[in-house]
Amino acid sequence: MANENRKWYEKAGAEGDVVISTRVRLARNLAQVPFPNRMTPDQKADVERRVRDALLNSNSAIAADFTFLAMDDLSNEQAVSLVERHIVSPEFIANSKGRGILISKDESISIMVNEEDHVRIQILHEGLALTETAETADRIDTLLNESLRFAFDPELGYLTQCPTNLGTGMRASVMLHLPALTESGAMSRIASNLSKLGLVIRGTYGEGSNVTGAMYQLSNQITLGLSEREAIENLQNIAMQLIQEERKARKTLTKNIAVQDKIGRSAGVLRGAKLLSCEEYMKLISNVRLGIAEGILSGVSLADITALTTAVQPATMIAEHGSNLPPQQRDILRADQVRKALSVLQ
C-alpha cells in the first residue's frame, strides 16, 4: 500500500518505540453565537452548516480531502469506532443531536462541530511530532477563521465554554506505551510530579478512561498565560524525559528471564489463539510490542502492531463486518486477524 494512502495509525513515527502518536486539539467558538449548551437546534444546524461550508467551499487544496458526517446518521457502533480510532472524544458521541464531523481521508485531521465548543480542530500524527502537528492545526485554524471569525478577547485569548480552555484553547498530548514504568510501580510518582509542572497523564482514551495495555496520554493542562509555542516546548521536553526514563527501565526489565518468558508466551498465545477478547488482546499485545521494541521479537513492525490494534477494537470490527456480529464471533474473528498479522512474528 502506498504510504500516502495509509491512515496515520498505519505509519511509523519518531520515537516510535515509546510514542504511539501525537495529538493537538484547538477549541474555538464563533463570535456572537451562544455556546453549545445554550444553543437552539436551529442555531446548532446553522453553526454546522457554516463550519462545513468554511472548509468544503474554501479555495484550499485540502478541501477535497475531507468528508462530512452527521452524527445522527451513524450507528452506535460507527460512532464508538470513531472513539476507538481516537478521531473523536467519548463526550462527542454521548449526544449526537446537532453534531457533525469533518474527517480527512487519512483520519489525521478531524473537525468536530457542536461538542463542548462550536469547533474542535484535532490533528493526529504518528510518533512524536508536536511541532509539525501544531503547525498543521494552526493552518486549519487560520483557514476556518477567515470566514467564521472566532471569538477572541485581547486579554483572555480564545473564548471557550469551559474556563479551563481559555487562552490558547489548545490541548496537546502524546500517547505513550510505558510498560516498564508501569511494571516498576513508578506511574503514581510520575503522575504526581507532572501535575506540579502543569501536565497530566491519563488513560488510553483521555480524561476518565482506564489504562489499557500500558497506554497513557500525556497532555498539557494550562492554556492561559503562556503561548502555544511555550506549551508545545514544555510538553516536548517532558515527553523526552519520560521516553528516556521508560527506555532505561526497559533495559533493566527485559534482562529478567521471567519477563522474556512472558513476552514469548504472549506472542505464542496471539499466534495460536482461536478465541481472543479485546481485553486479553490488549494485555498480550503490550508485551509483544515491548518485545519488538527491545529486539526480543522480530518480523513485525511497531506500525503494524498499531494498525492491528486499531482494527480489532470491538466497535471498529462491528462497523467493518456488520452489526450482526455477536461477541463470540467477534472474538473468533479477532483471533483470526491477529494470527494472520502475527504469523511472521519470530
- DSSP bridge pairs for 90: none
Cβ–Cβ under 8 Å, residues 39 and 33: yes
For residue 96, give the nearest of 122, 120, 69, 121 by alpha carbon: 69
19-54: per-residue pLDDT in tens?
999 999 999 999 999 998 899 999 999 999 999 999
How far is residue 12's CA from residue 293's CA, in Å, rounded to a whole number? Answer: 12
How far is residue 230's CA from residue 57's CA, in Å, rounded to a whole number? Answer: 34
76-123: per-residue pLDDT in tens?
888 988 988 888 888 888 888 889 999 999 999 999 999 999 999 999
Domain with CATH 3.30.590.10 in the chain: 3-249
Cβ–Cβ under 8 Å, residues 192 and 91: no
Cβ–Cβ under 8 Å, residues 316 and 310: yes
Q: What is the pLDDT of residue 321?
A: 82
Helix (H, G, I), strand (E, B) or coil at 181: helix
Q: What is the pLDDT of residue 2?
A: 46
Angle, helices 327-341/314-321, rounded to nearest 10 degrees: 90
Q: What is the pLDDT of residue 204?
A: 62
How far is residue 115's CA from residue 47's CA, in Å, rounded to a whole number? Answer: 11
The amino acid at 214: A
- Residue stretches of the annotated binding site for ATP: 21-25, 86, 120, 171-175, 202-207
| Alpha-carbon dihedral sign for residues 232, 238, 244, 250 | negative
Q: What is the pLDDT of residue 120?
A: 96
Residues of the chain with pLDDT under 70: 1-5, 204-209, 323
Cβ–Cβ under 8 Å, residues 223 and 231: yes
Q: Give me the architecture of the 3-249 domain, per CATH.
A: 2-Layer Sandwich (3.30)
| 3-state percent breakdown (helix, strand, coil) of the chain, nearest 5 | 50, 15, 35
Q: What is the pLDDT of residue 297?
A: 96
- Residue stretches of the annotated binding site: 21-25, 86, 120, 171-175, 202-207
What is the model's pTM? Answer: 0.90
